[in-house]
Structure 1
């Protein structure tokens, strides 16, 4: 499976830490900036953090630009938005592109990166726009239609398992929902609770509901519902059908005990280490890099697509999004930020996202890591039927995601709502939010 074919599929898709103060303006004579302030979504010790830190160290040494980096964690954009309002944001940040669009893009708070895309990649002859497929950037533009994100990692979610422990799943994975439930029952009969889940992270709960809604109702239905002031979209039968499927998992005893009471990443680490009675993990493509240090000897990362459903409109869909850089619109050293992006996107430097961090990159000339071979096939098989994380709801309705979607998914998985109650509450709370009630 070539990397170029993988990107063809993606192309078609059309936590909190203290942060240091930002630096001063450009040099007094108006010349190039000599410093760069970067607040990142990664935490100290994560594989991506290590790759980026090495690149930042080399960048500082080669350019003389002083780099002040803060490894802020997943809530970094909240900090950036607050500083943007104060007029003193960092020069560079990163996050999944949907969050960047939903947080910075909606307030015109992200710099137009057209000049960056027309600039040359450091150490190469090609321009940034030639090595980043336009389809990966297309959803993440400003009102004028210009790009605001520079991707460096391609992400998605899939159903993970240990191929060494379950070779039968590698050769014959469940394809339909009925086959999936049959597998779960077989595993349960052996004393397992088949599904690992760190339920304190509500968007991991929501992976199941998002996938089920897409399978039943097709790509785009969830984001449509998130922005529907009338709430009528939730009357589509696909929502209740999807919720009933997920309810089957919740009430069927298939989820690991106390999944909502433990603290991330306890359950996923226990799954990889073999210290948990779980076999399957619905997780992003970062699962191998996050759980690798805890994995049992001989653990082999394999995956299969979320099961299809009878008559599903999204049965062939796969998820693909990107993590990338953004430059806040009021950044004082935007030139230095663009220079670093062009530096990091060099093939040899970016390739470490694949080799060291075990994740996909947007460059077609960088081979995917072996642990993502199954996911690569899944994306390619999906063709142009690609959906963005949260079915793009995080980009089109970020407040809805944080105030309605994720909390209600938590209540659903905690047993506070049944399937019908979950959908009814989603509809009611969406109307209230979107109508400003």
Structure 2
């Protein structure tokens, strides 16, 4: 079982004392229908919070320790941590629709995705703006200012109000096995041509170049997503693939698909990837069977127990496409956003949980102990991810991964076609034609 280090426990103890003091002296005026709660004292009570990690994982145990601290500091508190990821979402959303959602939950809001704003617009969520504008006695600045500028658009609705806070960032980057690259004098690829060279060198060394799963279409779609970002640009791609306000007439779409076919035809992907699930694909990378993997930064925390202690991990941004018409340094990613149920009976206690969870102290401990990337200012990258700081600093901007496709009516029109291209069932031009046909049918344009 995962146990926090003595340093992390000391951080938690200090955090508990600091926030007890903060809760005692915080106040102010709010502008939402829940403004009365802004000045209410924090009292203990039963509280349920959705969490992303599964029970028994290091990430879950970290949160359980944090919850135990809340229970200790506020007598009468009993905190339930409910798995709120992947297969749990349909059941949780049914609870929300019936008025019985958890006090805190993920996946309820995203300011960059119009498909995830209905819960806020329909008054299911607490407007967090009054709380975020409160001065934090520890810093002398509003709570909102603790979050990075790249994270804040994800928190904010089009009406200017905030309905979620990020508990961790997930950045989609190209991870590579630094030892294999060093041993075989392979340069981490900064451009597409350098990526193709690295593929050839890895194959010559007897290593599958790229780990990928063939059983989860959006993970295969990460490759086409980034290629379109570089060759076309985010706005045009999103308009065509998700929002149904554009078309695939930019030549960059054909170019991106052609480059993806290049990788396939070179045999760049993990042998047997078609039947390999994402956990096995990630394990293959850490076992040295593949040299690279394009994945979210959750890779390290998710696979922490399976990473050999001597594994040398490197991280770089997705290669640029010289001559491409998109943004060559933009970073795809997202924020894990948690929202507060407007029907909660323990709003002040829930706010206290959010403040503890997103404090610099907690976020620093999570980065060091778990390997999570933080959306909070002045929290360093996890030590297991050398190069991540450089990736973040060199990025011109961060744009939402997947272009909102999984939450759009186009969800069954896009990634299945990308999978066919990966599997060799279609070539680049056929894929483009199929995408055009599917999107025309779904979007009605």
Answer yes or no: same fold by TM over 0.5.
yes
- What's the TM-score once normalised by structure 2's chain length? 0.81
- 1:260 Cα offset (Å): 2.2
- Is 1:411 matched up with 2:424? no
Could you tell me which residue of structure 1 aligns to residue 306 of structure 2? 294
* 1:321-357 alpha-carbon deviations (Å, 9 max, x no partner): 2212112344444333222101222322222221112
In structure 2, the residue matched to 1:162 is 177
Change (3 A) 1:159 1:308: same
Residue 91 of structure 1 corresponds to which residue in structure 2?
103
Check 1:226–1:67 CA distance in 2 against 1; reply closer, same or farther (3 A cut). same
1:346 aligns with 2:355: no
- CA change 1:410–1:55 in 2 (3 A) is same
The within-5 A match list for 1:171-186 is 172-186=187-201
Extract unaligned runs of 5+ from structure 2: 1-36
Contact 1:96 1:323 in 2 (8 A): no
Aligned to 2:256: 242
Is 192-201 or 139-148 further displaced after alignment? Answer: 139-148
Q: Report the CA distance between 1:168 and its aligned residue.
A: 6.7
State TM-score, norm by structure 1. Answer: 0.83
**Aligned residue among 314, 337, 342 for 2:327:** 314
1:165-244 equivalences in 2 (<5 Å): 165-167=180-182, 172-227=187-242, 229=244, 232-244=246-258
Per the TM alignment, residue 370 of structure 1 is displaced from its structure 2 partner at its CA by: 2.5
Q: 1:260 & 1:121 partners in 2: Cα distance?
A: 50
Shift of 1:420: 1.8
* Counterpart position of 2:272: 258
**Secondary structure, in 3 states, of the residue corresponding to 1:164?**
helix
Aligned partner of 2:15 in structure 1 is none
Pick which of 89-98 and 55-64 moved more.
89-98
Instruction: Select the residue among 59, 62, 65 that pairs with 1:48.
Output: 59
Q: Of residues 382, 395, 411 in structure 2, which corresponds to 1:402?
A: 411
Match of 1:429 in 2: 438
Q: How far does residue 32 in structure 1 lie from its aligned partner after superposition? A: 5.2
1:130 corresponds to 2:145: yes
Distance 1:341 1:251, change over 3 A: same
1:22-62 Cα offsets, whole Å, 9 max, x none, are xxxx9xxx995612111222212333322212111111121
Alpha-carbon shift at residue 401 of structure 1 (Å): 5.6
In 1, Cα distance between equivalents of 2:141 and 2:322:
46
Counterpart-to-counterpart distance in 1, 2:198 and 2:238: 31
Deviations, residues 139-196 of structure 1 (Å, cap 9, x unaligned)? 4323422111201212211111122232278984222212211221122123322111
Structure 1 segments unaligned to the other structure (5+ residues)? 1-25
Matches of residues 108-147 of structure 1 in structure 2 within 5 Å?
108=121, 109-119=124-134, 126-147=141-162
Q: Compared with structure 1, are the counterparts of its residues 401 and 102 closer, same or farther at alpha carbon in structure 2 (3 Å cutoff)?
A: farther
Alpha-carbon distance, 1:427 to partner: 2.4
Could you say which structure has the greater relative contact order, defined with CA pairs below 8 angstroms and 6 or more residues apart?
1
User: Which moves more between the two structures, 91-100 or 296-305?
Assistant: 91-100
Q: Deviations over 1:43-92 (max 9, x none)?
A: 12333322212111111121132212212433444333222211111110
Distance 1:185 1:69, change over 3 A: same
Task: Verify the 8 A CA contact 1:113 1:148 in the aligned structure 2.
Answer: yes
CA gap of 1:263–1:111, structure 2 versus 1, over 3 A, is: same
TM superposition shift of 1:417:
2.8
Measured after TM superposition, the shift of residue 235 of structure 1 is 1.1
Tell me how far apart the structure 2 counterparts of residues 307 and 366 of structure 1 sit (CA, whole Å): 26
**Mean Cα deviation higher: 330-339 or 259-268:** 330-339
